[in-house]
């Protein structure tokens, strides 16, 4: 375990980014065409980066696995995007957003990066408005704001419940404009399956054309991964079905460190699973907790009753009971753990899955009685409709059922202040990197980070890398390229021809999800984690022996796509458990039961664990490196929500 | 619940496709339509057969990837819904379901139920944007936009680019898709400057991609999962100087 540093600038926090910008090298406009950059993924970070690098004059090649860049999962973000405009004159500032983000992350993020994020947040809103993103407005014509995720200021900009969609379409359109100008080329339905390394530098990727099954090499001066998070390791999550870790995992296997893999966020208000064949979970906006009361039956024999038949005195409003001060508004991690605890003890409601009922009630009857049906419909109408269309139940008449679900991953590829990984020439942006959210992400901050990385940070730091590097030409005949191609072909062959093909990718994915959800989900415990590591190792061996992929590889074959992604999730799942086991403290979303206070709050250990855990791939056992987090400007405090 | 499924199978765009009939039993009523197909695919894997290919991603009605014509209706006959938001409880037990891909010249079938919609991307590339450089935007509140225009622009901007409007149109026209983007940007002052050029380029691109023209059938707004109104087409015609 050695200690490494993140190339942060020094001096006053407020001037670090500006100072750093001046120290970065530039490339003159006429020379930019000579440099080629590969961008993988076209969500907020990827699309905004392609647009910006393209208009600056670089040659950019982008890739996405979806059928159009507009479908990246950023599109599903509902709530909003934070920015320090202080339009509401409620005392917001760059410093306050910086502090809220660091504190929300339970003091496990890097000060310089988070400050820069807060600093850039306002520019994002300017950029998006100029592109025609239709944010909510007041009658006066000014932009509207709301408060979000328990902050005390109203700094969230939103476009109804579709903020992610509108911001992504803005970035997609900017990207499209460059495609029309021929600065950027793009391939949809293309999946990155390997990173090409030449002289210890990232120099390209191997891509599978998902339609023809052809494998091809693409070389460049550097590679940027904006490939999102890995919540789908849990099988059931709020992520789109295609979200996967394969690009970041290939990078890890080629030497990029993976940071804090166990920092995964579980969102408390999702629609519960209803059957064993469910394919994904849907998020219901957290704003519902402002007016809904959460309860479960006190007596487990009431669990299958109609909730209307359960008497008031037989209802356990457990968040109000356990956290009287914050009650139903307790933070995401705390509320999620309480719900799981209640269901594990046999007080859950809804359909039985694997012998357990996974759901609690979110009840609006009190607020409907108080404000009337119309006022509640005005406030939550679209959410109630969405709930009804998914579940077939009317939340105006009967309480909603909710259960927590994996939603976002704070962990990801380790990056320095320039968002470069430990592999030279390999950068990571958006949810794919670990950089800004520490051990827990605040609401409305994911969109902000993706766009800050793509529009404002990476275009500068990538240019600096290109300016400073002297790179030899690499073409498709280079031995490293040939070797990488072969590696991918061999792997596909292995997936297509397991020794005794028997089980589908779904089978393994569900098994992995169950292990991770139990051992590395909302609460973690040493013995269980150790057991899970063993189980995953067995699952991995079983997978390569028995994976069954029908059809052929030179074709559009979704079974083959899934098999490859599940294989990577299995390996990542093991690392998630190892990271959770290593971190003998609780912080943010990482709750080790051995390190929780009696009321369920995280007991952080700043003395021994104030570091980023960055894992280096080794064939036998991964090796841990620690980036010490030195708080120069703020004092870590205890997050207390009692 | 049990269903008889007639599903379009087609190896690739060069080979003629056909309906193949499958039986699927013991489906829970709360299973989504796509999960029902997932289960069918699991059966096919067990029988060593190639799976049925269909597009999907978010499964919450926002990404626009899913695209099935079910018993003649794009995204099924439920109003304002994407295929991924359909549940088997919406159907009668023991019914027959006919499942086909989008059918349009500009959306060639890739395989089975999957079509190539990159023509939509080409239309956006031809002009569906505001030409603003990163970093050159003015302060956001320097530009006031009345709430009504902002709300209307949002209504047009919610298009998810799924292509149901094309699939239902007897002319396979993409007019609603094109009109929604033109309207979204024309209603906002920042998009106003380029509006005529944009509208003309997008319209020309639509034609050169092989989409048909609009002859006012208005089926498009009926199947649009986001309820985008044909009044967008009126607005587009105004911008193009046709009215």
CATH at residue A294: 3.90.700.10
CB contact under 8 A, B121 and A176: yes
| CA gap A125, A131 in Å, rounded | 10
For A272-334, list the strands marked E by DSSP. 293-297, 315-316
Domain of residue A229, residue span: 13-263+410-468
**Residue A76 lies inside a defined structural domain of this protein:** yes
Query: Where does the pLDDT of residue A434 fall: very low under 50, low under 70, confident under 90, or very high at 90 and above?
Result: very high
Question: Quick one: which H or E segment has residue B204?
Answer: helix B195-208
Question: Quick one: which H or E segment has residue A217?
Answer: strand A215-219
- The structure tokens 């899970």 sit at A532
Structure tokens at B56: 């999907």
Contact yes or no for A207/A192 (Cβ under 8 A): yes
Share of chain A above pLDDT 70, in %: 98
**Residue A623 lies inside a defined structural domain of this protein:** no
Using a CB–CB cutoff of 8 Å, tell me whether B163 touches chain A.
no
How confident is the model over A439-457, as a mean pLDDT? 96
**Whether residue A125 is found in the same domain as residue A204:** yes
Contact yes or no for B59/B32 (Cβ under 8 A): yes
How confident is the model over B198-224, as a mean pLDDT? 97
C-alpha distances in angstroms, B145 versus A85, A130, A132, B190, B229?
18, 12, 11, 10, 22
Residue closest to A268 by CA, chosen among A338, A218, A178: A338
CA distance B219 to chain A (A): 23
CB contact under 8 A, A130 and B132: yes
| CA gap A452, A440 in Å, rounded | 19
**Whether residue A40 is found in the same domain as residue A93:** yes
Question: Facing residues of A315 across strands?
Answer: A297
Using a CB–CB cutoff of 8 Å, tell me whether B25 touches chain A.
no
Look over chain A and give the mean of its residue pLDDT values, rounded to a whole number.
Answer: 94
**Whether residue A361 is found in the same domain as residue A216:** no
**Whether residue A95 is found in the same domain as residue A165:** yes
Query: Where does the pLDDT of residue B54 fall: very low under 50, low under 70, confident under 90, or very high at 90 and above?
Result: very high
Residues of A in contact with B9 (CB under 8 A): none
| Boundary (domain end) residue, out of A366, A382, A406 | A406
DSSP letters along A187-206, please? ESSEEEEEEEEETTEEEEEE
C-alpha distances in angstroms, A467 versus A25, A201, A302?
6, 15, 68
Q: Topology of B3-111 in CATH? A: Ubiquitin-like (UB roll) (3.10.20)
What is the domain-level CATH number for residue A515? 1.20.58.100
Structure tokens at A251: 């990078």
What is the domain-level CATH number for residue A45? 3.50.50.60
Compare all CA atoms of chain B with the CA of A72 and give the residue at the minimum distance. B63
CB contact under 8 A, A550 and B49: yes
| CA gap A251, A202 in Å, rounded | 9
Reduce the DSSP state of residue A48 to 3 states and report it.
Answer: helix
Name the H helices within A254-400: 318-322, 332-342, 365-371, 373-391
**Stretch 82-111 of chain B: residues touching chain A, C-beta under 8 Å:** 85, 87, 89, 110-111
Question: Facing residues of A586 across strands?
Answer: none
Contact yes or no for B7/B22 (Cβ under 8 A): yes
> Is the model's pLDDT at A180 over the cut of 90?
no
**Whether residue A232 is found in the same domain as residue A299:** no
Q: Complex ipTM, two decimals?
A: 0.98
Share of chain A above pLDDT 90, in %: 85
**Whether residue A396 is found in the same domain as residue A418:** no
Characterise A160 by phi-psi region: left (phi > 0), alpha (psi -120 to 50), beta (else): left
Query: What's the confidence (pLDDT) of residue A1?
Result: 46
Using a CB–CB cutoff of 8 Å, tell me whether B119 touches chain A.
no
**Whether residue A239 is found in the same domain as residue A98:** yes
Per-residue pLDDT reduced to its tens digit, A80-123: 999 999 999 999 999 999 999 999 899 999 999 999 999 999 99
**Residue A632 lies inside a defined structural domain of this protein:** no
CA distance B77 to chain A (A): 14
Helix and strand numbers (H, E) in chain B are 9, 7
How many interface pairs between A and B have CB atoms less than 8 angstroms apart? 214
In sequence order, what are the residues at sequence separation of 6 or more whose Cβ sits closer than 8 angstroms to the Cβ of residue A455?
A48, A49, A51, A52, A123, A124, A127, B134, B135
Residue closest to B100 by CA, chosen among B55, B65, B70: B70
> Is the model's pLDDT at B65 over the cut of 70?
yes
CB contact under 8 A, A279 and B60: no
Interface with A, mutate which of B53, B56, B62 (most A CBs under 10 A): B62
Least confident of A6-20, A151-165, A550-564, B104-118: A151-165
CB contact under 8 A, B57 and A71: yes
Residues of B in contact with A136 (CB under 8 A): 150
CB contact under 8 A, B85 and A135: no
Per-residue pLDDT reduced to its tens digit, A245-293: 999 999 999 999 999 999 999 999 999 988 888 899 999 888 788 889 9
Interface with A, mutate which of B58, B197, B201 (most A CBs under 10 A): B58
> Is the model's pLDDT at B181 over the cut of 60?
yes
Residues of B in contact with A282 (CB under 8 A): 59-60
Structure tokens at A203: 């120099």
Name the H helices within A193-308: 246-253
CB contact under 8 A, A70 and B130: no
Contact yes or no for A40/A227 (Cβ under 8 A): yes
Residue closest to B140 by CA, chosen among A74, A283, A143, A562: A143
Query: What's the confidence (pLDDT) of residue A332?
Result: 81
**Residue A541 lies inside a defined structural domain of this protein:** yes
**Whether residue A67 is found in the same domain as residue A138:** yes
Per-residue pLDDT reduced to its tens digit, A343-369: 999 999 998 888 889 999 999 999 999
| Boundary (domain end) residue, out of A362, A377, A406 | A406
**Strand A258-259, strand A352-353: pairing:** unpaired
| CA gap B151, A125 in Å, rounded | 18
**Does the domain at residues B118-239 carry the CATH identifier 3.50.30.60?**
no
Q: How many domains does chain A have?
A: 3
CB atoms within 10 A of CB A265: 22
**Residue A389 lies inside a defined structural domain of this protein:** yes
Compare all CA atoms of chain A with the CA of B182 and give the residue at the minimum distance. A132
**Whether residue A450 is found in the same domain as residue A549:** no
Compare all CA atoms of chain A with the CA of B45 and give the residue at the minimum distance. A550
With 0-12 CB in 10 A as exposed, 13-18 as middle and 19+ as buried, what is A366? exposed
DSSP letters along B9-24, please? E-SSTTS--EEEEEEE
**Whether residue A222 is found in the same domain as residue A293:** no
Contact yes or no for A359/A402 (Cβ under 8 A): yes
Query: CA Rg, chain A, in Å?
Result: 24
**A335 vs A41 pLDDT, higher one:** A41
> Is the model's pLDDT at B69 over the cut of 80?
yes
**A254 vs A374 pLDDT, higher one:** A254
CB contact under 8 A, B65 and A131: no
CB contact under 8 A, A550 and B44: yes
CA distance B149 to chain A (A): 9
Residues of A in contact with B134 (CB under 8 A): 48, 51-52, 55, 127, 174, 455-456, 459
Contact yes or no for A588/A311 (Cβ under 8 A): no
Query: What's the confidence (pLDDT) of residue A641?
Result: 60
**Residue A510 lies inside a defined structural domain of this protein:** yes
The domain ranges of chain B are: 3-111, 118-239
**Whether residue A228 is found in the same domain as residue A149:** yes
Using a CB–CB cutoff of 8 Å, tell me whether B193 touches chain A.
no
**Strand A36-40, strand A222-225: pairing:** parallel
Look over chain B and give the mean of its residue pLDDT values, rounded to a whole number.
Answer: 97
**Whether residue A58 is found in the same domain as residue A198:** yes
Phi, psi (rounded to 5 degrees) for A616: -105, 135
Length of chain A: 642
How confident is the model over A295-320, as a mean pLDDT? 95
């Amino acid at each position: 375990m050695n200690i490494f540093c993140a190339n942060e600038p020094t001096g006053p926090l407020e001037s670090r980014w500006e100072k750093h910008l001046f120290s970065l090298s530039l490339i003159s406009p006429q020379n930019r065409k000579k440099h080629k950059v590969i961008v993988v993924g076209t969500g907020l970070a990827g699309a905004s980066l392609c647009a910006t690098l393209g208009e600056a004059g670089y040659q950019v090649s982008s890739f996405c696995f979806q059928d159009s860049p507009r479908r990246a999962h950023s599109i599903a973000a509902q709530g909003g995007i934070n920015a320090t405009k202080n339009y509401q004159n409620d005392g917001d500032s760059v410093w306050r957003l910086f502090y809220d983000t660091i504190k929300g992350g339970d003091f496990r993020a890097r000060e310089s990066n988070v400050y820069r994020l807060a600093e850039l947040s306002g520019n994002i809103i300017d950029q998006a408005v100029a592109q025609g993103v239709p944010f909510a407005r007041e009658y006066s014509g000014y932009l509207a704001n709301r408060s979000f995720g328990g902050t005390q200021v109203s700094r969230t900009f939103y476009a109804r419940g579709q903020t992610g969609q509108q911001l992504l379409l803005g970035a997609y359109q900017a990207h499209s404009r460059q495609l029309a100008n021929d600065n950027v080329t793009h391939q949809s339905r293309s999946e990155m399956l390997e990173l090409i390394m030449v002289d210890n530098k990232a120099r390209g990727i191997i891509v599978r054309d998902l339609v023809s099954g052809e494998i091809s090499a693409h070389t460049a001066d550097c590679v940027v991964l904006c490939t999102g998070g890995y919540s789908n390791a849990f099988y059931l999550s709020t992520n789109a079905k295609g979200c996967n870790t394969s690009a970041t995992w290939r990078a890890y296997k080629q030497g990029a460190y993976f940071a804090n893999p166990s920092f995964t966020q579980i969102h408390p208000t999702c629609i519960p699973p209803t059957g064993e064949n469910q394919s994904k979970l849907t998020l219901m906006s957290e704003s519902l907790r402002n007016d809904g009361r959460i309860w479960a039956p006190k007596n487990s024999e009431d669990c299958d009753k109609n909730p209307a038949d359960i008497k008031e005195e037989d209802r356990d409003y457990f968040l109000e009971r356990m956290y009287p001060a914050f009650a139903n508004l307790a933070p995401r991690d705390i509320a999620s753990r309480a719900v799981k605890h209640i269901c594990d003890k046999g007080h859950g409601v809804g359909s039985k899955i694997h012998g357990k009922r996974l759901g609690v009630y979110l009840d609006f009857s009190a607020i409907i009685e108080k404000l009337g049906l119309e006022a509640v419909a005005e406030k939550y109408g679209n959410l109630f409709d969405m709930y009804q269309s998914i579940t077939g139940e009317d939340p105006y008449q009967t309480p909603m059922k909710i259960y927590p679900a994996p939603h976002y991953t704070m962990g990801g590829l380790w990056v320095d202040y320039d968002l470069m990984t430990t592999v030279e020439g390999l950068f990571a942006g958006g949810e794919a990197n670990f950089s800004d959210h520490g051990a827990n992400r605040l609401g409305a901050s994911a969109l902000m980070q993706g766009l800050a990385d793509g529009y404002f940070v990476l275009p500068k730091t990538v240019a600096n890398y290109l300016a400073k590097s002297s790179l030899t030409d690499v073409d498709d005949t280079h031995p490293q390229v040939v070797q990488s191609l072969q590696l991918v072909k061999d792997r596909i062959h292995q997936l297509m021809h397991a020794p005794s093909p028997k089980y589908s990718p779904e089978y393994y994915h569900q098994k992995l999800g169950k292990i991770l959800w139990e051992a590395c989900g909302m609460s973690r415990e040493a013995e269980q984690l150790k057991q899970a590591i063993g189980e995953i190792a067995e699952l991995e061996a079983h997978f390569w022996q028995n994976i069954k992929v029908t059809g052929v590889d030179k074709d559009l074959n979704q079974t083959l796509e899934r098999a490859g992604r599940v294989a990577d999730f299995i390996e990542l799942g093991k690392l998630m458990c190892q990271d959770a086991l290593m971190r003998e403290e609780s912080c943010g979303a990482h709750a080790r039961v051995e390190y929780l206070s009696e009321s369920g709050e995280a007991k952080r250990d700043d003395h021994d664990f104030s570091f980023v855990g960055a894992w280096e791939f080794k064939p036998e056992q991964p090796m841990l490196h620690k980036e010490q987090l030195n708080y120069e400007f703020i004092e870590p405090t205890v997050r207390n929500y009692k | 619940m049990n269903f008889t499924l007639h599903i379009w199978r087609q190896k690739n765009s060069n080979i003629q496709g056909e309906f193949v009939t499958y039986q699927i039993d013991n489906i829970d009523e709360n299973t989504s339509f796509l999960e029902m197909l997932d289960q069918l695919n699991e059966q096919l894997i067990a029988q060593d057969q190639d799976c049925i290919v269909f597009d999907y991603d978010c499964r919450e009605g926002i990404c626009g990837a899913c695209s099935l014509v079910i018993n003649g209706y794009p995204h099924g006959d439920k109003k304002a819904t994407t295929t991924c938001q359909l549940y088997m409880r919406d159907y009668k037990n023991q019914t027959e379901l006919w499942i086909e891909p989008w059918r349009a010249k500009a959306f060639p079938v890739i395989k089975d139920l999957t079509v190539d919609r990159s023509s939509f991307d080409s239309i956006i590339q031809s002009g569906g944007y505001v030409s603003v450089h990163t970093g050159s935007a003015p302060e956001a509140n320097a530009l006031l936009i009345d709430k009504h225009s902002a709300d209307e622009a949002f209504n047009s901007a919610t298009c998810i680019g799924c292509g149901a409007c094309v699939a239902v149109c007897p002319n396979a026209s993409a007019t609603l898709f094109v009109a929604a983007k033109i309207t979204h940007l024309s209603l906002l002052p920042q998009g106003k400057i380029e509006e005529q050029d944009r509208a003309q380029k997008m319209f020309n691109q639509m034609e050169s991609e092989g989409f048909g023209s609009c002859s006012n059938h208005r089926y498009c707004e009926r199947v649009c999962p986001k309820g985008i109104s044909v009044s967008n087409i009126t607005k587009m015609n105004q911008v193009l100087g046709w009215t």
